[in-house]
């Protein structure tokens, strides 16, 4: 097939099998024999499913690609990438669709590779490791690993988030203080890359020191999605695990967890009480977030939205099998409420771990709404100046959206036992993550809501140029809560580039990986790793 006919098929209006739209794979591309003739679903604007395949969870962004490919194997991903490269089309990748910016659902996207059908989870006896495909939702990952083998990967809260982007960006959640981040158990990755000649192929990279592709594995330990290629499989095995019994190769979650919900009424919360409560919360995490802490199984999500939301909610989980779990929880709540003087309600229940995980009382940040996220790592409790800015913004008049504010999550613990250069994600001594959130429905209100959250974030971080510059208090931001404002000098006046906020000193190494594995910059977006100059 000629390049001209290949381009015609890619640009055409009808859905066609991708196998008919691309030339045979070039030598050296690793695919299974039974995949050679397998058709690939290709959806175009005339197809009924198109509208559902060009949107993600953040309704602010809708793409209009010429095609959406829905591959069912790594070989089909290779063919999709090759077809896009041959036709000179901008290709983007989606696993769960939860990206907070328009890295996928962008006007520039011409071919979307939707990995939702690459969703298997299982055990690979040859590698002695568990495999997770990128389209698997976190809920399905947890369900399969736990039901079959009694183990898990410490990952995020939202069951519908796809493993593909979540893991590549770092991956953390309720078990991370006890067992580390998802990437701390990542031992291998299979990636479709494009070389200098424009040839797409699969490469498997592992954490083995002798692996010549090890740098590609390292880049996926927090280097972010959409940077180096298309992940088609992850492998997980905990460091130090021995033998080949699957039930011993990843962390075992507790059989039972204690789920605690504490609720304070905003109507009772004075400025001083608010200061005291948030200062207590931060201080407790300063004191109890070292690796091996007796409180390592604690994870809390503190939802602090605007006053007209009515309440401040603190969702906490901990290992319910600990003999002193009730005492530890009571001590935690006493420390948080010390000197606050505001009444609260407290609901506690015990649930099996999987039920608690899949039916979490913590919300999806945005699901079908228009949203904006911003984030910061905290190394210590916020000072009074910052707390006063937060209080004023959450209680001020003139802005009434009740679903705007902060989520403060527990961090640290075993995450902080890993050296900052061992993975691409360098933040290894923080105790909290703060997520600034805003969500709304009416497109006509975009400017109002975006301005509010941008000014909120800028004012909290006014002492460091409007962004959380790494230092005594902050340690930058988290790429999975992507925020293009960090690259905008109108909002980042610190003089510190966006990549230093996400990757710090690891960025130069990520650039070298980019140069080796994506030398043509096929995979790029507003905050992607740039080729070195």
- Give per-residue pLDDT as tens, 243-254: 999 999 999 999
- Mean pLDDT (whole number) for 78-95: 97
Q: Is 80 exposed, middle or buried (0-12, 13-18, 19+ CB in 10 A)?
A: buried
Q: What is the pTM of this model?
A: 0.92
Does 130 have pLDDT greater than 90?
yes
What percent of the chain shows pLDDT beyond 70? 91
Distance CA 85, CA 87 (A): 5
Q: Is the pLDDT of residue 217 over 50?
A: yes
Whether 33 has a pLDDT exceeding 80, the answer reads: no
Interval 133-177: pLDDT, tens: 999 999 999 999 999 999 999 999 999 999 999 999 999 999 999
Residues 6+ apart with CB under 8 A from 245: none
pLDDT of residue 359: 85
Residue range 93-109: mean pLDDT, rounded: 94
pLDDT in tens, 290-307: 999 999 999 999 999 999
Q: Residue 378 in 3-state DSSP?
A: strand
Secondary structure (DSSP) of 151-164? ------S-TTSBHH
Q: CATH number of the domain at 121-252, out of 3.30.300.30, 2.40.50.140, 3.30.465.10, 3.40.50.150?
A: 3.30.465.10
Rounded mean pLDDT, 492-497? 98
d(CA 449, CA 399): 9
* Contact criterion met (CB below 8 Å) for 343 and 311: no
Inform me whether the pLDDT recorded for 475 exceeds 50: yes
Stretch(es) of the chain classified as CATH 3.30.465.10: 3-114, 121-252
Q: For the segment 346-356, what is each residue's pLDDT rounded down to a tens digit?
A: 999 999 999 99
Weakest mean pLDDT among 7-11, 126-130, 257-261, 471-475: 7-11
What pLDDT shows up at residue 117?
96
Q: What is the mean pLDDT of residues 422-445?
A: 97
pLDDT of the residue at 96: 92
Q: Is the pLDDT of residue 190 over 50?
A: yes
Q: What pLDDT score does 368 carry? A: 78
Examine the pLDDT at 59 and tell me if it is beyond 60: yes
Span 439-465, average pLDDT: 98
What's the pLDDT score for residue 428? 98
157, 372 Cβ separation under 8 angstroms: no
Say yes or no to pLDDT of 34 above 70: no
> What are the pLDDT digits (tens) for 382-393?
999 999 999 999
Would the pLDDT of 365 be above 90?
no
DSSP state, residue 244: S
Q: Which helix (H) or strand (E) holds 346?
A: strand 344-352
For residue 299, the cross-strand partners are: 317
Q: Is the pLDDT of residue 225 over 70?
A: yes
Predicted local distance difference test score (pLDDT) of residue 21 = 32
Q: Residues 385-413: what's their mean pLDDT?
A: 97
pLDDT at 18 (0 to 100): 31
Determine the average pLDDT of the residues in 120-140.
Answer: 97
Judged against a pLDDT cut of 90, whether residue 239 lies above it is answered with: yes
Give the whole-angstrom CA distance, residue 503 versus residue 101: 18
Q: Which regions of the chain carry the CATH code 3.40.462.20?
A: 256-505
pLDDT at 229: 98
pLDDT in the model for residue 38: 65
Residues in the chain: 533
* H or E stretch at 450: helix 446-460
According to DSSP, the residues that pair with 370 across neighbouring strands are 440
Q: What is the CATH number of domain 3-114?
A: 3.30.465.10
Shortest CA distance to 475 belongs to which of 418, 505, 430, 425?
430
- Tell me the average pLDDT of the chain: 92
For 256-505, the fitting CATH number among 3.40.1350.10, 3.40.50.970, 3.90.79.10, 3.40.462.20 is: 3.40.462.20
């Amino acid at each position: 097939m000629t390049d001209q006919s290949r381009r015609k098929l890619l640009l055409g209006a009808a859905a066609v099998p991708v196998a008919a739209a691309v030339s045979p794979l070039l030598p050296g591309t690793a695919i299974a024999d039974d995949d050679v003739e397998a058709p690939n679903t290709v959806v175009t604007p005339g197809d009924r499913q198109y509208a559902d395949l060009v949107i993600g969870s953040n309704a602010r962004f809708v793409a209009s690609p010429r095609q959406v490919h829905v591959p069912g194997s790594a070989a089909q991903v290779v063919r999709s990438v090759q077809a896009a490269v041959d036709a000179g089309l901008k290709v983007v990748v989606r696993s769960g669709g939860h990206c907070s910016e328009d890295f996928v659902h962008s006007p520039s996207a011409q071919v979307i590779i939707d990995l939702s059908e690459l969703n298997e989870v299982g055990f690979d006896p040859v590698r002695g490791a568990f495999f997770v495909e990128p389209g698997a939702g976190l809920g399905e990952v947890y369900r399969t690993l736990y039901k079959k083998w009694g183990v898990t990967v410490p990952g995020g809260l939202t069951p519908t988030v796809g493993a593909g982007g979540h893991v590549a960006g770092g991956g953390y959640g309720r078990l991370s203080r006890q067992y580390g981040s998802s990437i701390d158990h990542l031992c291998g990755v299979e990636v479709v890359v494009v070389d200098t000649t424009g040839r797409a192929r699969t490469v498997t990279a592992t954490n083995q020191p002798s692996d010549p592709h090890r740098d590609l594995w390292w880049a996926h330990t927090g280097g972010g999605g959409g940077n180096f290629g298309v992940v088609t499989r992850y492998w997980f095995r905990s460091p130090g695990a021995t033998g080949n019994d699957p039930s011993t190769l990843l962390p075992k979650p507790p059989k039972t967890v204690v789920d605690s919900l504490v609720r304070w009424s905003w109507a009772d919360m004075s400025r001083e009480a608010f200061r005291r409560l948030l200062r207590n919360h931060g201080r407790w995490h300063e004191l109890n977030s070292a690796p091996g802490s007796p409180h390592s199984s604690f994870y809390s999500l503190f939802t602090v939205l605007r006053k007209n939301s009515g309440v401040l909610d603190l969702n906490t989980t901990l290992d319910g099998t600990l003999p002193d779990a009730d005492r530890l929880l009571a001590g935690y709540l006493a420390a948080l409420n010390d000197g606050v003087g505001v009444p609260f309600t407290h609901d506690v229940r015990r649930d099996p771990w999987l039920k608690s995980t899949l039916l979490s009382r913590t919300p999806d940040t945005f699901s079908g709404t228009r949203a904006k996220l911003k984030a910061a790592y905290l190394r210590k409790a916020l000072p009074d100046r910052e707390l006063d800015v937060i209080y004023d913004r959450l209680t001020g008049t003139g802005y009434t959206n009740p679903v705007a504010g902060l989520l403060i999550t527990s961090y640290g613990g075993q995450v902080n036992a890993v050296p900052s250069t061992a993975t691409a994600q360098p933040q290894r001594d923080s105790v909290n993550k703060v997520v600034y959130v805003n969500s709304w429905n009416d497109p006509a209100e975009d400017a109002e809501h975006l301005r509010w959250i941008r000014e909120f974030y800028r004012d909290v971080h006014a002492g460091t140029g409007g962004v959380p510059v790494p230092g005594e208090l902050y340690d930058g931001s988290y790429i999975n809560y992507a925020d293009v404002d960090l690259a905008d000098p109108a909002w980042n006046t610190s003089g510190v580039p966006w990549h230093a906020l996400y990757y710090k000193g690891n960025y130069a190494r990520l650039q070298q990986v980019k140069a080796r594995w994506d030398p043509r910059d096929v995979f790029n977006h507003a905050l992607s790793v740039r080729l070195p100059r």
